[in-house]
Amino acid sequence: MQKRLRTPGTGWHIGKTRGKPFTAFGRQVVSIGLAAQAGWPGGGFTWHRPVGVEVRHGDNVRRLAIHDVTLEAIVSIVMAGIAVAISTMLWQRWRQTGKRDKS
């Protein structure tokens, strides 16, 4: 049973997806992902990221996680931007209060 992304309608949808199984080196491999969809009339947005793979060899099933360094980099860049913005606001406020005290 494979869960596929639904066609974008209106509203939100978050869920796991499974890719089509394929065989490599005598093992069956299935990709697993996490998808978030937002839809509105006339369009929508889908964000999909891989979270792991499932490898079957006979009766043995192994799940291997995928470490997403791109997500970590994006979060780090956003956090650095927020830190710079807050630091700049505090520095400007500190400079303005210093000028008022001298007058």
pLDDT, tens digit (0-9, with 9 covering 90-100), for 30-68: 999 999 999 888 888 888 888 999 999 999 999 999 988
Domain identity same for 36 and 51: yes
| Residues 75 and 98 placed together within one structural domain of the fold | yes
pLDDT at 3 over 70: no
Does 59 lie in the same domain as 41?
Answer: yes
Identify whether residues 38 and 11 lie together within a single domain: yes
pLDDT tens for residues 16-27?
A: 999 999 999 999
Q: Could you tell me if 3 and 46 lie in one domain?
A: yes
- Return the C-alpha torsion angle 68, 70, 72, 77, nearest 10: -170
The maximal CA–CA distance of the chain, rounded, in angstroms, is: 82
Question: According to the model, what pLDDT value does residue 47 have?
Answer: 87
Whether pTM exceeds 0.95:
no
